[in-house]
Amino acid sequence: MGSPPIEFAEAVEKSRAEVEQMSAPLKAVMEEVSRVIVGRDDLIRRLLVGILADGHILLEGVPGLAKTLAVRSLAGSLEAGFSRIQFTPDLLPADLTGTMIYDPSSGGFTPRKGPLFSNIILADEINRAPAKVQSALLEAMQERQITIGDKSHLLEEPFMVLATQNPIEQEGTYPLPEAQVDRFLLKVKLDYPGRLEEHRGMEMQILERMTAETLPEVKPVLKCDHILKSREVVRRIPMAQSVKDYIVDLVLATRVPGRVNPALEDLGALISYGASPRATLALAMAGKAMAFLSGRGSVYGEDVKEVAQDVLRHRVLVTYEAEAREVTSEEIVQQVLDHVRVP
Q: What is the pLDDT of residues 47-91, one digit of tens each?
A: 999 999 999 999 988 777 778 888 888 988 998 889 999 998 888
pLDDT of res. 290: 96
How much is the pLDDT for 169? 59
Instruction: Please tell me the distance from the alpha carbon of residue 91 to that of residue 132, in angstroms, as a whole number.
Output: 9
pLDDT at site 190: 84
**pLDDT at residue 194 in the model:** 57
122-131, 230-239, 247-256, 301-310: least confident range: 122-131
> Running DSSP on this structure, what letter comes out for residue 316?
-
Number of Cβ atoms within 10 Å of the Cβ of 53: 26
Q: Has residue 168 got a pLDDT over 70?
A: no
Question: Could you tell me how far CA 68 lies from the centroid of its own chain?
Answer: 14
Q: Tell me what percent of the residues of the chain surpass a pLDDT of 70.
A: 91
Top-confidence residue, 207 or 309 = 309
pLDDT of 47 reads: 93
Residue 12 has pLDDT above 60, yes or no: yes
Beta pairing, strands 184-189 & 222-223? unpaired
Identify the band that residue 333 occupies on the pLDDT scale cut at 50, 70 and 90.
very high
- Whether 165 contacts 127, CB under 8 Å: yes
DSSP H helix total and E strand total for the chain: 16, 13
Element (H, E) at 172: none
pLDDT for 1 equals 46
Contacts of 213 (CB under 8 A, 6+ apart): none
Class of the CATH-defined domain 237-343: mainly alpha
Most confidently modeled range among 3-7, 185-189, 209-213? 185-189
Q: How far apart are CA 237 and CA 299, in angstroms?
A: 7
d(CA 140, CA 137): 5
pLDDT digits (tens, 9 = 90+) for 180-189: 788 899 999 8
Q: Environment class of residue 239 by beta-carbon count within 10 Å: exposed (0-12), middle (13-18) or buried (19+)?
A: buried
Minimum mean pLDDT among 108-122, 125-139, 205-219, 246-260: which range?
Answer: 205-219
Give the contacts of 55 (CB within 8 A, at least 6 positions apart): 49, 160, 184, 185, 186, 282, 285, 286
What are the sequence ranges of the domains in the chain? 35-91+117-228, 237-343
Sequence-separated (6 or more) residues with CB below 8 Å from residue 216? 35, 36, 209
Task: Name beta bridge partners: 109.
Answer: 102
For the chain, strand residue ranges (E) read 56-60, 78-79, 82-86, 98-103, 108-113, 120-124, 145-148, 151-154, 160-165, 184-189, 222-223, 271-273, 317-318
**Distances 230 to 26, 55, 288 between C-alpha atoms, Å:** 9, 14, 11
Other beta carbons less than 10 A from residue 214's beta carbon: 5
Residue range 113-133: mean pLDDT, rounded = 88
The answer to whether 294 touches 36, Cβ cutoff 8 Å, is no
Q: Please, are residues 287 and 307 in contact by the beta-carbon 8 Å criterion?
A: yes
Q: Model's pTM, two decimal places?
A: 0.89
pLDDT digits (tens, 9 = 90+) for 19-57: 999 988 888 898 888 888 777 788 889 999 999 999 999
Residue 189's identity, in one-letter code, is K
Q: What band does 298 get if pLDDT is binned at 50, 70 and 90? A: very high
Beta bridge partner(s), residue 78: 222
- Write down the CATH superfamily of domain 35-91+117-228: P-loop containing nucleotide triphosphate hydrolases (3.40.50.300)
Tens-digit pLDDT profile for residues 137-162: 888 888 898 888 778 889 999 999 99
**Pairing outcome for strands 108-113 and 222-223:** unpaired
160 in Cβ contact with 51 (< 8 Å)? yes
* Pairwise CA distance, residues 343 & 10, whole Å: 20
Q: Quick one: pLDDT at residue 235? A: 95
